[in-house]
Structure 1
Amino acid sequence: MGVIQDIADNYSQGQMIGLGIAFMILPIVAVGLRLWAKALGKGIKMDDYLVIAATAVSVGCAVVQLIAAINGQLGQHQTVGVDGAPLLDDPRFVIYEKCKLAVNILSTVGLGFVKSSILVFYMDIFYGRPFKLASQIVLGIVVSWTISFFFANLFTCFPISPFIEAFYHNKCVDGLALWYGMAISDILIDVIILVMPIPMVLQLQLPWKQKLGVLVMFLLGATVCAFSLTRALIYVHVGDRLALHFNDETYYTSPVFFWAVIELSTAVLSACLPTYRPIWLLMRGRPVRQKHQGSYFSRNQDSSGISRTGRGYPLGSVTDYKDDIGLTDNMRGVDVDISAEGNHSEEHIGPGRGITVERSVHLGSRPVEHV
């Protein structure tokens, strides 16, 4: 808890302005690189639009933080009267309170967009009814979570007011309890989203070295879980400090403000990281594989999403997955022979080791062979 205290109780107006600028630029750069990578690869899809929306909200939160730091009292001690009581009608304090309400509402919406983008990305690269159903259920939970906490933050007081503290005598719920509930549920959802791809990746017919590489790529999202956990611990610390410093709210509740901005910006970055492979290939001078329309392979699978003729992923999803994150053809378990003419394709699966692909495409009267 000493580390949390050092993080939470040592800041200034200048630091708040610096953080606001840095975490405004970070998501813009992250999504810009993502769009570049998608332009090189398979093009813009629904998950990209969702993360663009999250970026817009993230930038909005950073702007609100700058307003609160420059015109309000973010990261600064609250103005008090000669009797030591806080001046509740101080214009800078009023701006801080309004900005705090705004950032709590906006960050909730932004996190909902990020989580939804990741789940849509999962559904795009993994086939199988059980996984799709699980993803849809979690997506429904994310949408419900976003809507619920959007309105919970909006109606913390009724009528709607940013002044939630007891000394205003408004009809409000316990703001700290609301923040605790939001932070804990945020962590639980992040952990669920983080572990969802693990069993799917473990079923891939790949050497363990390659499996671990793919797992590491997906587990980069653990950084978001770390920030979510830190934010929850910060909330607990804020509650303890406010009990001792009730007349210095702007200083001791500032972490509630800027940690929301930090978590949302890093969440956007984490959602973008798995999409950067085409840029990496371009920088290394290697050809960037374009996303093909449809799948190379027909989806010969049962309701579990596993190929009936071999263990692991259905072959269609392996190919699409490989295009997305750069898996090689060095996969074990089945041999595949494919011949294609016009728009018709057939596949044959037999026992053996490795994947062997034969494709014949007729362009006019001239056959083109590729093995």
Structure 2
Amino acid sequence: MANFLAIHISPGLLYSAAVIWPIVCISVVWARFARRTAQRAKIGPDDWLILPGLLLVIGLTVTLLAGTAQKALGYPTPKLAPGTELTAVNDLQTITRKAYYASVLLNIAALTFIKLSCIFFYRRIFAKGVNKTVLTLIWVLSALLLIWGIGHFFAVMFACGNNFHYFWTSVENQLKCPADLVKIQQSLAISDVLMDVIILIFPIPLIMRLRMSRSNKFAVVGIFFLGAISFIASVVRLVIILQGLKAQFAASADEDFVTTTAIYFLYHEACFALTAVCLPSLSGALKLKGVQNMVEGFNEAFSNLSRSSLRSRKSNKDLAATKNHERLESARPSDGDIDIELAHYPLPLPDSKKITVTNEIDQKFTSA
């Protein structure tokens, strides 16, 4: 098994994730609602549930950025005086622990809404053509998700009762918590993986019974299994927690780096889950007028940039030609200049041969 405790997530990786993921998540949610509007389809509970999930992911982003900006995430643990590891209170470690506490709570809430959105999406597509047993299972799964989310959210929040500061002050205070923090985190990580497995497997038998070609069935299954990326992130999170708890007091483990790695994968899990849940709703989204307008806008912007660059080069050449022309002291233009002028002048020059048009033709037609 890989030793994730040896991974040191740098501030650059944290900043990159915090910049890229919000753009991706906001884009897929916007495209989801744009497609519903374009299809004149009803915006259902699965769509509304993704909105709080998106807001909570943005909250995770803010937490990640705040911790990194204060050099609490992505940096080694500050050196403490020997013998004070359990009792010492350090400002940077306090920020790191606060970031982890907030990230865990935001992650639980975000995953609850995102997974509920996925379940209600199943209900939308399988509402017709399935028996009542399947619909009952969907409601049971929804209830289990609610219990999982609410139960773990408040279990973590009130693990130390009303003494919330125990979480981020010192290890000694954490040991005073009436609830077992180790068991709570293990329960959260293991049950999260199990819920992901159930959600991923649930629709497969129903999809295989649909009247579709075999290739289309596998394509639909493939879309659902994009959520497996989120599942992998949750498994990694589980391994990190188990390894971190095992080496909690080991001298070789850097607490802040371990915490940073855990937060990093918490963030990726929520973002991958949100993106995967929205993708099945975006089939053919590139054909939407709004998306096409956005793509055309980018193309027009790049075209304007290219044209402006060409105009700039041309103006520089014209300016150089003008300066060279001003240096020439000629009394009359050359033959070449006359040819150029004739080429651009719409009417004959005064000294050139003239063509006179009379009304003779009109007179002939009139006399006829």
TM surpasses 0.5: yes
Q: Which residue of 2 is the match for residue 163 of structure 1? A: 166
Q: Which has the higher contact order (CA 8 A, sep 6+)?
A: 2
1:185 and 1:204, CA in 2 relative to 1: closer, same or farther beyond 3 A? same
Could you give the per-residue CA deviations for residues 82-128 of structure 1, whole angstroms, max 9, x where no partner exists? 43745833222222222211111111010000010011111111033
Q: Percent same amino acid at aligned positions? A: 24
Which runs of no fewer than 5 residues in structure 2 stay unpaired? Answer: 293-368
TM-score normalised by length of structure 1: 0.70
Match of 2:57 in 1: 58
Instruction: Mark the CA change 1:72 to 1:173 in structure 2 (over 3 Å): closer, same or farther.
Output: farther
Deviations 1:142-167 (A, max 9, x none): 00001000101101212232534642
Q: Which residue in the other structure is 1:95 paired with?
A: 95
Task: Name the counterpart of 2:2.
Answer: 2
Q: Deviations over 1:276-318 (max 9, x none)?
A: 11314449x99xxxxxxxxxxxxxxxxxxxxxxxxxxxxxxxx
Distance 2:271 2:245 in 1: 24
1:3–1:26: structure 2 CA closer, same or farther, 3 Å change rule? farther
| Counterpart amino acid of residue 33 in structure 1 | A
Matched, 1:274 2:272: no
1:163-182 counterparts in 2 under 5 A? 163-164=166-167, 166-168=171-173, 169-182=175-188
- TM-aligned CA deviation for residue 170 of structure 1: 2.8
1:260 aligns with 2:237: no
CA distance in 1 between partners of 2:252 and 2:176 (Å): 17
| Structure in which a larger fraction of residues adopt strand | 1
Runs of 4 or more above 6 Å deviation:
none
Which one of the candidate residues 117, 136, 141 is aligned to 2:139?
Answer: 136
Task: Tell whether 2:232 aligns with 1:226.
Answer: yes
How many residues were matched structurally? Answer: 283
What SS does structure 2 have at the residue aligned with 1:78?
coil
- Once the two structures are superposed, residues 305-346 of structure 1 have per-residue CA deviations (whole angstroms, 9 ceiling, x without a partner) of xxxxxxxxxxxxxxxxxxxxxxxxxxxxxxxxxxxxxxxxxx
Q: Report the residue type matching 2:200 in the other structure.
A: L
- Residues 242 and 119 of structure 1, relative CA distance in 2, 3 Å threshold: same
Supply the distance in 2 between the matched residues of 1:105 and 1:186 (Cα, whole angstroms): 14
Note the alpha carbon deviations across 1:199-227, whole angstroms, 9 max, x for none. Answer: 11111122222222222222222222111
Instruction: Give, as a single letter, the amino acid of the residue that structure 2 aligns with 1:56.
Output: L
**Which segment is superposed worse, 151-160 or 243-252?**
243-252
SS at 1:244 equivalent: coil
Query: Matches of 2:83 and 2:279 in 1, distance apart?
Result: 49
Which has the larger helix fraction? Answer: 2
TM-superposed deviation, 1:72: 5.2
- 3-state SS of paired residue (2:8): coil
C-alpha change, 1:119 and 1:103, in structure 2 (3 Å) is same
- Alignment-derived partner of residue 338 in structure 1: none
Does residue 9 of structure 2 align to residue 21 of structure 1? no
Structure 1 residue aligned with 2:10: 12
Q: Where does residue 201 of structure 1 map in the other structure? A: 207
How far, CA to CA, are the matches of 2:79 and 2:215 in structure 1?
61
In 2, are the aligned partners of 1:50 and 1:113 still within 8 Å (CA)? yes
**Cα RMSD for the two superposed structures:** 2.4
Partner amino acid, structure 1, of 2:138: S
The 3-state SS of whatever aligns with 1:243 is: coil
Distance of 2:239 and 2:268 partners within structure 1: 14
Is contact 2:159-2:178 (8 Å) kept? Answer: yes
| Contact 2:9–2:261 under 8 Å retained in 1 | no
TM-score, reference length from structure 2: 0.71
Q: Which residue of 2 aligns with 1:49?
A: 48
The CA deviation string for residues 256-279 of structure 1, in whole angstroms up to 9 with x for no partner, is 222111111111000001011131
Paired position in structure 2 for 1:117: 117
CA distance in 2 between counterparts of 1:217 and 1:90 reads 46
Q: Distance in 1 between matches of 2:159 and 2:71?
A: 21
Could you tell me how far 1:246 is from its partner in structure 2?
A: 8.1
Partner Cα distance (1:219, 1:93) in 2: 38
SS at match of 2:166: coil
CA contact (8 A) 1:154 1:160 kept: no
Query: 1:299 maps to what in 2?
Result: none
Residues in 2 aligned to 1:20 and 1:232: alpha-carbon distance in whole angstroms = 22
